[in-house]
Amino acid sequence: MLGESSLHPIKKGKAFTIMNDDPTVPPTETSEKRSSRTMGTPNLKDPCYVNAMIHFYRGELARIMVWRQRLDVTTTWAITSSTTIITVAFSFRDIPHIIFFFNLALVWVMLWIEARRFRYYDAFRGRVRMLESHFLMPMVAQSNGLLEGEWRRLVCEDLVLPHFKMSRLEAVCRRLKRNYVYIFCIILLAWVLKIFMHAKSGIHSVVDFLAALSVVGLPPWLTEFIFTGTILSLVGMMLYASRYTADEVSEFATRNPLWKL
């Protein structure tokens, strides 16, 4: 419950401030104090507040589940298209290995689309985690003091002006680390096997491999750039994801013997 004062969101960049029209509030009072005075301290025994928050949590949980399912769809498209292209490439000897160019391009597009969807999923997941950490946890612990803090103001700001919680690069790297690195590795492995199996002459050195990597009608440096550029991009993005991003669930939590019921 937000009290008796009327709240007006005023846009300031990516956030807003909660304005209080109550003439009894001193004009020199800070926005944080006005927010605390307006909202008051929630009570776990207030059925109206608890029911509203429970329905809010269920609605946000349903929203992120929809976006989570959309992530699985793009991954399925990437796997299905890659499987089809690899099967066709190895079924016919006359098909040039340039077909893997299109396979890589298609998977990169799927990765970009999935990263965009993952940003929306993470944006709404932030609200769910906020409610789980600052509302459900005090409910389970039966501690009304744990409800204090700025989390309600942050949730209100995000409801009025939703914003992403991660950058595009971080979203791409996290989805690459989670799923797409394995797809890219299989494509590159199939590409190399295609070159060795269907080469016109034997490959005994790096020079022979680079010669077999070239495609008629394309400059030799283009195929070499795509092949090496893809490998270097994957390695760089994986290093970035391992250093600057974290998984949603910690691996150490599974070591707690109390959970093995």
**Same structural domain, 151 and 213:** yes
Taking 80 as the threshold, does the pLDDT of residue 260 lie above it? no
Mean pLDDT of 32-51: 62
Task: Say which residue, 107 or 258, is predicted with more confidence.
Answer: 107
- How many angstroms separate the CA atoms of 135 and 238, rounded? 35
Q: Examine the pLDDT at 38 and tell me if it is beyond 50.
A: no
Residue 255 located in a structural domain: no
Quick check: is 252 in a domain?
no
DSSP state of 256: -
Let me know whether 13 and 140 are in one domain. no
* Residue 8 pLDDT greater than 50, yes or no: no
Most confident of 14-28, 64-78, 131-145: 64-78
SS3 41: coil
Q: Retrieve residue 246's tokens.
A: 């974290």
Residue 259 falls inside a structural domain: no
The answer to the question of residue 256 being in a domain is: no
Using an 8 Å Cβ cutoff, are 97 and 198 in contact?
A: yes
When mean pLDDT is compared across 93-97, 130-134, 138-142, the lowest value belongs to 138-142
- pLDDT for residue 139 is more than 60: yes
Query: Max Cα separation, the chain?
Result: 89
CA distance 180 to 190: 15
Cα 154 to Cα 149: distance, rounded to the nearest angstrom: 10
Same domain, 65 and 187: yes
Q: pLDDT at position 41, please?
A: 59
Across the chain, mean pLDDT equals 78
The label of the residue with tokens 């077909």 reads 99
Are residue 15 and residue 93 in the same domain, yes or no?
A: no
In this predicted structure, the answer to whether residue 154 has a pLDDT above a threshold of 80 is: yes
The total of structural domains in the chain comes to 2
Q: Do 190 and 150 belong together in one domain?
A: yes
State the pLDDT at residue 20.
46
- C-alpha neighbours within 13 Å on the C-beta side of residue 250: 4
pLDDT value, residue 3: 42
Q: Are residues 24 and 51 in the same domain?
A: no
Which residues constitute the domain of residue 51? 44-245
- Inter-CA distances, 219 with 164, 213, 227, Å: 41, 11, 13
Q: Please give the residue that has the higher pLDDT: either 188 or 133.
A: 188
Q: Can you tell me the distance from the alpha carbon of 231 to that of 199, in angstroms, rounded to the nearest whole number? A: 22
In the numeric block, the tokens 């942050």 are attached to 154
pLDDT at position 106 is 94
Q: To the nearest whole percent, how much of the chain has pLDDT over 90? A: 27
Residue 257, domain member (yes or no)? no
- 48 and 34 share a domain? no
Question: Is pLDDT above 70 for 11?
Answer: no
Q: In this predicted structure, what is the pLDDT of residue 33?
A: 46
Highest mean pLDDT among 103-117, 156-170, 203-217: 103-117
**CA atoms of 209 and 3, how far apart (whole Å):** 73
pLDDT in tens, 155-207: 888 888 888 988 999 999 999 998 999 999 999 999 988 888 877 777 777 87
